[in-house]
Chains A and B, each alone.
Chain A
Amino acid sequence: DAGVTQSPTHLIKTRGQQVTLRCSPKSGHDTVSWYQQALGQGPQFIFQYYEEEERQRGNFPDRFSGHQFPNYSSELNVNALLLGDSALYLCASSLAGTGTSLTDTQYFGPGTRLTVL
């Protein structure tokens, strides 16, 4: 059973460019959340997708957008890259539930390391 997969592993971009990161959830999971983890910090919640819609959003500007496909995979797009966008971007998947089950645990992918020069 494949876990959460992300691509690419590493990415180098320059300021002002746009980037797309991809995530495939763990088998059987239908919810994908994206997080940004700057060096030495805890992950910060960007947004969550369920049923191909953005359901929750953290405190991130509109430059950050996403998409979820019918097969539950997801993309994170970042426009007009800034130096401060350099970080590890983590995708996490889970099975939408009632909040009372241990299966509501999020499973994290290996991340995409984005460097903006």
Chain B
Amino acid sequence: ELKVEQNPLFLSMQEGKNYTIYCNYSTTSDRLYWYRQDPGKSLESLFVLLSNGAVKQEGRLMASLDTKARLSTLHITAAVHDLSATYFCAVDITQAGTALIFGKGTTLSVSS
């Protein structure tokens, strides 16, 4: 059974600090997704990582994928309050990105 584990599950950060969220998965997969979810809202796609060594950056967020270690990281640089949300990583169990297994999510709270 495929397992996707995120840590930490909760993260309280100060504005301006850096931190990393880790996502480990238990099966071979070259496709890893990161989503953001605000309270009471749906999921917003952040990054799609399609190959070993892939690195994507958007604003203060950077995601990377190491398929050999079965590890993805989401790095937050100089956190701001607007980044407060729950972040999910997900692994595709098909070859077409249409059936995702999600981690439990990391709830990020950024305070001044």
CB-CB contacts of B61-105 with A at 8 A, as 1s and 0s? 000000000000000000000000000101011111111111111
Q: Is the CB of B43 within 8 A of A105?
A: no
Partner of A48, one of B44, B99, B103: B99
Cβ–Cβ contact A99 & B45, under 8 A:
no
Categorize the interface residue count of chain A.
20 to 34
CB under 8 Å from chain B, chain A span 9-57: 31, 33, 35, 41-45, 48, 50, 55-56
Complex contacts, A56 vs chain B, CB 8 Å: 93-94, 98-99
Q: B94 to A102, Cβ gap below 8 A?
A: no
Q: How far is the CB of A51 from chain B (nearest CB, A)?
A: 12
List A contacts of B44 (CB < 8 A).
Answer: 108
In angstroms, Cα B44 to Cα A111, docked, is 12
Are A42 and B99 interface neighbours, CB within 8 A? no
Judging by beta carbons under 8 Å apart, are B104 and A41 in contact? Answer: yes
Contact between B97 and A45, CB atoms less than 8 A apart: no
State the CA gap A107–B48 with chains docked (Å).
Answer: 12
Are the C-beta atoms of A97 and B97 separated by less than 8 Å?
yes
B35 proximity list for chain A (CB < 8 A): 108
A109 within 8 A of B: yes
The answer to whether B101 touches A105 (Cβ under 8 A) is no
Q: Could you tell me if A102 and B50 are in contact, using CB atoms closer than 8 angstroms?
A: yes
**B contact residues vs A (CB 8 Å cutoff):** 4, 31, 33, 35, 41-45, 48, 50, 88, 90, 92-105
- Of the A-B pairs whose beta carbons lie under 8 Å apart in the complex, a sample of 29, sorted by A's number, is A33-B98, A41-B104, A41-B105, A42-B88, A42-B102, A42-B104, A43-B43, A43-B102, A44-B102, A45-B100, A50-B98, A56-B98, A56-B99, A90-B42, A90-B43, A92-B100, A94-B97, A96-B96, A98-B95, A99-B94, A99-B97, A102-B50, A104-B31, A104-B48, A104-B96, A105-B45, A105-B97, A106-B45, A108-B44
